[in-house]
Chains A and B, each alone.
Chain A
């Protein structure tokens, strides 16, 4: 379904509007709110438990702003 089988999520900071859906609904609690702001003043989420990601893709699907994508996990 997603480009590669075992992936790593990535936040596209300039597109995020800070709705918090990724933080709230990730089944593995991978995200948390950070203190970093993007250029539009949005408080960004950050990936704090990336290792626990199961690549379910929910955050990618639920992000209303195309601000989460998956890239190949360089460690695999």
Chain B
């Protein structure tokens, strides 16, 4: 007998597609939940949102939201969203994608979208690896981590995402975790209403990939986020993530600047004068 699913966010989700594909305890479900809860609490007009994602486990998020949604190619969610945002300024693109998608293959687009101050919200699931392809190391993997493609330990230095995005010119930059779920949701609400390029890094357990490699259960990983992350106000360059050390979370940037659509409109005035 199939259970009658009666869920209070059913208008916000594609209920016919649940259960989703993510593993037990994967943080992506919590990120998606925070996003739809934020839309629900804001009573946001769902016809004015396009949820865009790249490829990866995180990239599947766009397929579960009851908004217009586009699952694009690996790394390119931001230029797609730029095309949307500049074509129809009534629409807020919300990009949900992974650390690999946004900072490895798509890193160039990210800094340029931030530099242009395209009006969009980017929610980056940082699970410290390429989850979908089997937990290989990526641009956020800490030094010395053993992964299937770094069997002797990772020899590369990870990016500090909030520092990178801040210096590229984003108008809102925050870092939360899926354990800090109410702060995360409030941050998403802020990003949804902000006019400008907003970026939220969400530390999120990849339970089957990163978790297994580290011999941690999903609950261990969540406890770890609870115990090592501290909300503090620091300069983004200081908010590095290193194993065994305190991880700083919170809001790093919140400024106002004209958006790309604003300056395009100014350009039209200038060119016809």
Instruction: List the interface of chain A (C-beta within 8 A of B).
Output: 1-3, 12-15, 17-21, 24-25, 42, 58, 61-66, 69-71
Report the minimum CB–CB distance from B218 to chain A (whole Å).
5
Closest to B27 in A: A64
Flag if A15 contacts B18 (CB, 8 Å): yes
- Determine whether B273 belongs to the interface, using a CB cutoff of 8 Å to chain A: no
Flag if B3 contacts A13 (CB, 8 Å): yes
Flag if B19 contacts A14 (CB, 8 Å): yes
Contact with A along B4-24 (1 / 0, CB 8 A): 011111000100001110111
Residues of B within 8 A of A61 (CB): 30, 33-34, 37, 181-182, 185
Residues of B within 8 A of A2 (CB): 8
Contact with A along B166-190 (1 / 0, CB 8 A): 0000000000001101100100000
Residues of A within 8 A of B219 (CB): 19-21, 24
Flag if A64 contacts B5 (CB, 8 Å): no
Q: Which 9 A-B pairs have the closest CB atoms?
A: A64-B29, A19-B25, A17-B24, A61-B181, A14-B3, A19-B24, A3-B8, A19-B218, A24-B219
Residues of A within 8 A of B2 (CB): 14
Alpha-carbon distance A71/B222, docked complex (angstroms): 27
Alpha-carbon distance A1/B186, docked complex (angstroms): 12
Interface size class of B (residues with CB under 8 A): 20 to 34
Instruction: List the interface of chain B (C-beta within 8 A of A).
Output: 2-3, 5-9, 13, 18-20, 22-30, 33-34, 37, 41, 178-179, 181-182, 185, 207, 218-219, 222-223
24 interchain pairs, CB-CB under 8 A: A2-B8, A3-B8, A14-B19, A15-B19, A17-B19, A19-B24, A24-B219, A24-B222, A61-B30, A61-B34, A61-B182, A62-B178, A63-B30, A64-B22, A64-B24, A64-B25, A64-B27, A65-B24, A66-B9, A66-B18, A66-B29, A66-B33, A69-B6, A70-B8
Residues of B within 8 A of A64 (CB): 22, 24-30, 33, 178
Closest to A56 in B: B182
Alpha-carbon distance A1/B2, docked complex (angstroms): 29
Residues of A within 8 A of B178 (CB): 62, 64
Residues of B within 8 A of A63 (CB): 29-30, 33
Closest to B30 in A: A64
Flag if A65 contacts B20 (CB, 8 Å): yes
Other A-B pairs, 9, CB within 8 Å; known A17-B25, A19-B218: A17-B24, A19-B25, A61-B30, A61-B185, A64-B25, A64-B30, A65-B18, A65-B20, A66-B9
Residues of B within 8 A of A58 (CB): 181
Residues of B within 8 A of A3 (CB): 8
Residues of B within 8 A of A1 (CB): 41
